[in-house]
């Protein structure tokens, strides 16, 4: 059984990364969608909204990126 678990590490980390990417995917969608709504409502605030949007995306995306790194760490074994 030990050998089988060893063989599963790579595919399992892939599945893990896939699961981890769901949340940030939804989150970035919400951030970008709301930013578009805000820009459409107040085009004169475009610069500020874009900056804030990228900050929000950066925060949200962090989780997916951690997942990306952990995938490599996990599959390294």
Tell me, residue by residue from 6 to 45, as one string, x for binding to another protein by CB under 8 A and - for no binding: x--x------------------------------------
Answer whether 68's CB lies under 8 Å from 17's CB.
yes
Nearest to 7 by CA among 68, 75, 53: 75
Provide the sign of the torsion angle of the four alpha carbons 9, 10, 13, 14, taken in this order.
negative
Give the interface size with another protein as a residue count (CB under 8 A).
21
Q: Which residues bind another protein (CB under 8 A)?
A: 6, 9, 47, 51, 54-55, 58-59, 61-62, 65-66, 68-69, 71-77
């Amino acid at each position: 059984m030990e050998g089988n678990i060893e063989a599963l590490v790579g595919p399992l980390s892939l599945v893990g990364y896939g699961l981890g990417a769901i949340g940030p995917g939804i989150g970035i969608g919400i951030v970008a969608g709301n930013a578009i709504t805000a820009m459409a409502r107040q085009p004169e605030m475009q610069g500020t909204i874009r900056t804030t949007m990228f900050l929000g995306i950066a925060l949200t995306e962090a989780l997916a990126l951690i997942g990306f790194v952990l995938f490599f760490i996990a599959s390294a074994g």
